[in-house]
Chains A and B, each alone.
Chain A
Amino acid sequence: MLLTDIEFHEANTLKEASECMARYAPNARLMAGGTDLLVDLKTGRVGTNHVVSLNRIAALRGLATTNGSLRMGALTTPHQLWASTTIWERFPAILDAVRDMAVPQIRNMATVGGNIASAVPSGDLPPILTVLKASVILWSLSGEREVPLEDFFLGPRKTVRRDEEILTEIRLPYPPPRFGAAYVPFALREANGCSVAAVAASLLLDQKGIIQDARVCLGAVAPIPLLVKAAKAALVGKAADKAAFRRAAEEAAKISKPISDIRSSAVYRQELVSVLTRRALDSARQRALGGQQ
């Protein structure tokens, strides 16, 4: 299917977009930045007869604060996250994911909503947003629902989002004091490198430095961003030290389900998970202690 044979629909409102999707599904795809979808269409990885563009819906852009949480419009670009003082001050871990995501041109075009909704296993934002306890809002004519990100993904390029639902925003609770998070991706080159493995981690410490809560989420080593529940068990109640991190790293490596592909073997990826988990926890700890951003 050539791009010029596809029918493009420019939705002006959520209602239009949802109706259009309902009308043409399953032969329709939503488009935000288009950086994944247009590549998929050009290479024939996906075929579709209809593309419904969300780009005219201004309400989907930008960041806002309400009720103690940050709301990111689905069309917010990675570049806009990078330029946001709120992100720098309150969610520095997101910068870990944005800093080297793809390349500058793509960071000006891609969207946060697209990075999540496309559900590519190597996507950079889902792991870090998961450890930050983000949720997504799915809007349809029958109303909207809020889904915790950890429940959103079903498999590679598969999510709980129904065809006529639009991912409109991402909600992030503001973190409590002595909370820190970090994201450590590993790619085979410094820019435009797809993650071979990636680990996001968060820690909440008490005043004595004992771990109160912890999350570890793996990227690119399972069909979906993988929240390592056993890591939490290995960490909570312990001092945030190397020994605890090593145990959590072992749990993470154990539970990861990587594949072998052109970038790396499964065995090596598991090895990476262990190293990256330790490093992510270590950075999260520094941030929790108010160290370097």
Chain B
Amino acid sequence: MIRTYTLTVNGYDRAVSIAPGEILADVLRDKLNLTGTKKGCNLGDCGACTVLVDGEPMNSCLLLASQMEGKQITTIEGVAHNGKLAPIQKAFVEEGAVQCGYCTPGMILSSVALLEKNPRPTVQEIKDGLAGNLCRCTGYTGIIRAVQRCENYRDDGTCAKKEVVAENSRFNSITLSMPRVDAADKVTGRAQYTADIARSNMIHGKILGSPIAHGRIKRIDVSKAKALPGVLAVITGADVPDTKYGVSPARYDEYVLAKDKVLHEGDNVAAVAAVDERTAEKALGLIEVEYEELPPVLDAMEAIAEGAPQLHERYKRNINTVVEQTFGDLEKGFADSDHIREETFIGNNTQQQPLEPHAAMAYWEYDGTLVLYTSTQAPHYVQYMLAHVLHIPLGKIRVIRPAVGGGFGCKAATSPLDLCSAILSRITGRPVRMTFTREQMMHYGRGRHKQHMKMKLGVDRDGKIKAFQSEIYLDGGAYTSFGVATAYYAGSMMPTLYHIPNYQYHGYRVMTNKPACGAFRGHGVPQPRFAFELLFNMIAEDLGIDPIEIRLRNSMTPNTLTVNDLDIKSCELTATLLAAREKSGWKEKFGKLPKGRGIGIGSGGFVSGAGYAIYRGQVQLSHEKGREPFVKKSIFPHANAIVKVNEDGMAVIVMIGAAEIGQGGETVMVQVAAEELGIPPSRIRTRCEDSDISPIDLGAYSSRVTLMGGNAVKHAATMVVEKMKPYAAAILGCSEGEVKLLRDARMVVAGDETRSVPWEEVARKYFNDRGPLVGTGCYKPPDGLGGDFKGGTVGTSPAYSFGSSVCEVSVDLETGKVKVERFTDFHDCGTPINPQMVHGQVEGSMVMGASETVMEDVQFDKMGHILNPNLHGYLMMTIKDAPEVFSGIVDSYEPEGPFGAKEIGEGSTCTVLAAVAHAIANATGVWIKELPITPERIMNAIHAKQSISEVVSTPGDD
């Protein structure tokens, strides 16, 4: 059956043993070690596995390797020649077309095929050519730019593009749109993601998911699976610790594998390890599980009813979290209002869908140290949770985060792969690698909570807010995950944009037999923000006030303590509104567009890092100690950095556990270090991936890396400079106080810059005399953040971002089909460390948010099975759906941020949903209050409005 085939790959003949059913993508990755070909969906929907076959792009996940003889196969590894990037690769690097990099190989190969036939494609031709490659990070904007400008890049290694310089002349490396430090690896296929990493003697693990949404496990028989040759271990709930885990310490409610009940389709029931993936897959099929099926409850509003099926003993009526907060005098606020409007909005259950599925690879070292490679946003929390579940000290766990192909929140917690690979490796004594399929990712979930939102807003006749009341039911799925924080965030962030004197929030997070929801970009905020902004626009319409004007009248001002005790420092929301109004041509368009075309506005913002860590207490106390009493300060620093200068002074290594997940965190760390050290970024590299090397950073969540990680790196760099000064003084023959650091890698005598010494010479002198030149730095959020009430910590942050988006759409009024045409977005992100990367975040947010607004939704049947568990049925925007995005940055300086910087990645998502929904309302004359706003919902609303107006206009007809 298996025979040797000759495949011609990247110009060379390779003899490979292939079984007839083997898929080309697997053969390239596993047998030819060409791991630049990525697997994102394995079903031909995402394009990450694109290769060229005789010059034509094809999905290698749907090609039989045995049919490829005699064909020329080109993978990403064959695009660069002799170590030199091809023009398209250079264009991707320099035009900001790369973020997480997981779609990049396929995207580049599709571009190569397009440009081969059509060297100067129009934007439409580019969209047609790249329509089969999904990207979740960039919003496709940078990619289109790169393909358009490819012809500017030459083959000879030189670049036609002019050198980038800092936009703000006060700086050298800050406000500098330099290419990402990992871009070249990502455009060549060199970047290694977790599933690309193999160790000798490695075996493969897989998890068996529950086929039913709710039930009791009556019997599991693994004997047949264990007897299958090649199977090395099979584990069930009986073989894993009794310790529950999760995210919020108050609500750990997950077992590694189900002990008794399964609570959603795909819930983890058993795991196997075998010599290869195929054997592991087969073994899963041999595990016999007998379930006692229980009725599932799938709707949050039904789940809270008396007598509804119960998921967990401890959450009565399935209510997992209750938030009841009142600030100010609500009754008086409404009594003082001239106009009150109350509306109910319903959100959707969307998922992050990063192109890279979760993966983990674990092994144990001779001394009992666990080494885990994992695709994670928060390596430290994984380390902490492994210590908790496996009952080993934190220090005996080494977590390595390879390149991560996007996260957006679904990789912010410890996954069953992390735990199962560690356990299976301990049992078998061999490295174990595990990956999720796209379907398993969707069953694991951790997407956006579907929120049922009743909101009541009272304003005076000028539109000034007097009182706001919000009651929200969050559909949380089967486990808590981040959900406690989500329930609080859904309320706490509302008063950050506008002055709201009286505010009440009641939030109830409810358990249902669906995959657990978690923290998805904007954590809890985008849906209530959508609802609030839309309600605000309705009120503006009621009062005849322009919707941008009503925002300006209420807009948050700097240095304000909100009604719920959040401490706003820098704030340029007003500037973003004015800039978006001007640039979008709002005044010429709003209310003046023909029917079927619309324009809308939404504002939003987010925290720049959570004010408090997810767990309380000290780092070394993990499973051994109970919960610490809460004090209003951080116990340990949230970000920690070491800056080490190489012995020759020519290179600097920045070590910080800050997770690069595609957002550009490592590049930001390099730029901050370069600015503070006074040397070019090209001399700096990072070591962020290994917990044995880099000190703790809490990770890439709550938009914290730039502000917190940046501050830690800046402080560490300052220490290096301070250590160098005495040595510079000795060389220069001046006093230490006279030494001045220039930004061009020199130290000089203040007042006489002709007396200078190269930076590296000072560093060498230090090493010669004192040994390693190292600086350390850390960052703790300010003490005392937040009010003295339950949940007062959630929403606290050292700084807040603000932004406003104007969206333009056209709607086919006969079918309801929406084309989101363009966004004009302005953001206050403080000082942009790297403006191109800021725009990249905004472009990605706009497209992701628009996609969530008009098409995304996980759908379930009556028994709780996901009806669209793949990227064919779960719709997200392709390059042909994506709108144009204009992204602008307003002047702002945040005193708490490094060089004045704050966040962009999540705040930019919060503006989008309402802007799109408002534009659709503007185009159609109907407000749609339920997400996603599908063509069918639009047509239903149009028909409903028509029938009402017919009744009204013809009163005597019946």
Interface residues of chain A, those whose CB is within 8 Å of chain B, are 2-8, 10, 34-35, 38-39, 42-43, 53, 55, 79, 102-106, 108-109, 186, 188-194, 261-262, 264-265, 268, 271-272, 275-276
Contacts and interface: CB of A to CB of B under 8 A. Distances in A.
Interface residues of B, number: 51
B62 A5 contact: no
A103 B815 contact: no
23 contacts: A2-B281, A2-B282, A4-B278, A35-B44, A53-B64, A103-B47, A103-B132, A103-B878, A104-B110, A104-B129, A105-B57, A108-B58, A109-B58, A188-B934, A189-B855, A189-B877, A190-B131, A190-B878, A191-B131, A261-B867, A262-B867, A262-B873, A272-B815
Given A104-B128, A108-B56, A262-B859, 4 more contacts: A2-B282, A109-B62, A192-B132, A193-B875
A185 to B, nearest CB: 12
A191 B62 contact: no
B93 interface: no
A34 B64 contact: yes
**At the interface, is chain A mostly helix, strand, loop or mixed?**
mixed
A55 to B, nearest CB: 6
Nearest to B934: A188
**At the interface, is chain B mostly helix, strand, loop or mixed?**
loop
B938 to A, nearest CB: 10
A4 to B, nearest CB: 4
9 pairs of A and B residues whose beta carbons are closest in the complex:
A103-B132, A190-B880, A191-B131, A3-B21, A8-B20, A191-B878, A4-B21, A268-B936, A108-B56
A261 B936 CA distance: 12
Contacts of A276: 815
A8 to B, nearest CB: 4
Interface of B: 19-23, 42-45, 47, 50, 53, 56-59, 62-64, 66-67, 110, 128-132, 278, 281-282, 814-815, 817, 855, 859, 867-868, 870, 872-873, 875, 877-881, 934-936, 939-940
A264 B936 contact: yes
Nearest to B51: A105
B881 to A, nearest CB: 5
A105 B22 contact: no
Contacts of B128: 104
Contacts of A7: 20
A243 to B, nearest CB: 17
A191 B879 contact: yes
A2 B278 contact: yes
A105 B815 contact: no
Contacts of B815: 186, 272, 275-276
Contact of B21 (A6, A109, A194, A271): A6
Nearest to A3: B21
B7 to A, nearest CB: 16
Nearest to B876: A189
Contact of B64 (A8, A43, A191, A264): A8
Contact of A79 (B56, B814, B878): B56
B814 A275 contact: yes
Contacts of B878: 103, 189-192
A132 B33 CA distance: 48
Given A3-B23, A105-B47, A188-B934, A262 B132 contact: no
A186 B815 CA distance: 9
B298 to A, nearest CB: 15
A42 B43 contact: yes
A79 B815 CA distance: 29
A130 to B, nearest CB: 23
A3 B59 contact: no
Contacts of B47: 103, 105
B62 A34 contact: yes
A109 B281 CA distance: 27
Nearest to B874: A262
B884 to A, nearest CB: 14
Contacts of B131: 103-104, 190-192
B59 A109 contact: yes
A189 B859 CA distance: 17
A105 B132 contact: yes
B21 A191 contact: no
A123 to B, nearest CB: 14
Contacts of A4: 19-22, 278
Contacts of A109: 58-59, 62-63
A194 B56 CA distance: 23
Contacts of A106: 44, 59, 62, 132
A35 B62 contact: yes
Nearest to B880: A190
Contact of B817 (A3, A103, A186, A192): A186
B132 A104 contact: yes
A275 B875 CA distance: 23
- Residue among A3, A43, A191, A193 with most chain B CB within 10 A: A191
B62 A189 contact: no
A271 B872 contact: no
